[in-house]
Amino acid sequence: MQSTLPPISLLALIMLPACTAPVAPPNTPPAEAALYRAKQTCLDTYQTRPGQVAKDNMSKLMTCLARATQKYGQQAYGPYAPIYMDGASKGVEAARHLRDGIYTPDQFGSEIGLIQEQENSAIAQQKAQMSTPMDPILQPVPAAPGR
C-alpha cells in the first residue's frame, strides 16, 4: 500500500531542526549563529566541492541564501536587515542572469561584488544617520513634571 504523503526531501529534513528552534533575541550571537547555520546548510547542499558551486546550482544556492536571510536576517541584522534582504534579492536576480546566459561567471562575480559594496555603503550611511544628533527643533520635548 502506498503512502499518500509526499516524499520528504533531504533538505527538508536538514532544515527541520532550524525551523523548530526557539527564536534568538535580535542582534545577539545566537541570532547570528542561526543565520550562519542556515546559510552553511545552503552551501553544503549546493557545493560540488568546498568553495565550488556548479553554474546550474548557483540560482538554487542564491535562492536558498535569500530565504535564510529572510527567515533569520531580522534577528541577526536588526535595523540593517532590509539592506541585506535587498542584497539577497539582487543576488538571486544575478544568479538567474547567470543561469540564463545573460551573465558570464566573471560578470556574475562582479555583480555579486557590486551588491556587497552597495550593502556596505548603505550600512555605513545608515550608521552615520543613526549616530548624527537630531536638529534641536526635531528632538522630543521632555514632558513637564506633574502632567
Model confidence over 41-90: pLDDT tens digits?
A: 999 999 998 889 998 899 999 999 999 999 999 999 999 999 999 999 99
- Residues ≥6 apart with Cβ < 8 Å to 55: 98, 99, 105
The verdict on residue 138 lying in a domain is no
Q: Does some domain include residue 33?
A: yes
- Give domain status of residue 57, yes or no: yes
Q: How many domains, the chain? A: 1
Domain-located, residue 78: yes
> Is residue 146 situated within a structural domain?
no
Domain with 99 in it: 29-128
How far is the C-alpha of 29 from the C-alpha of 76, rounded, in Å? 8
Q: Could you tell me if residue 13 is inside a domain?
A: no
Q: Is residue 14 part of a domain?
A: no
Considering the domain boundaries, does residue 123 fall inside one? yes
Q: How confident is the model at residue 24 (pLDDT cuts 50, 70, 90)?
A: low
30 versus 73: which is more confidently predicted? 73
Q: Determine contact, residues 32/76, Cβ cutoff 8 Å.
A: yes
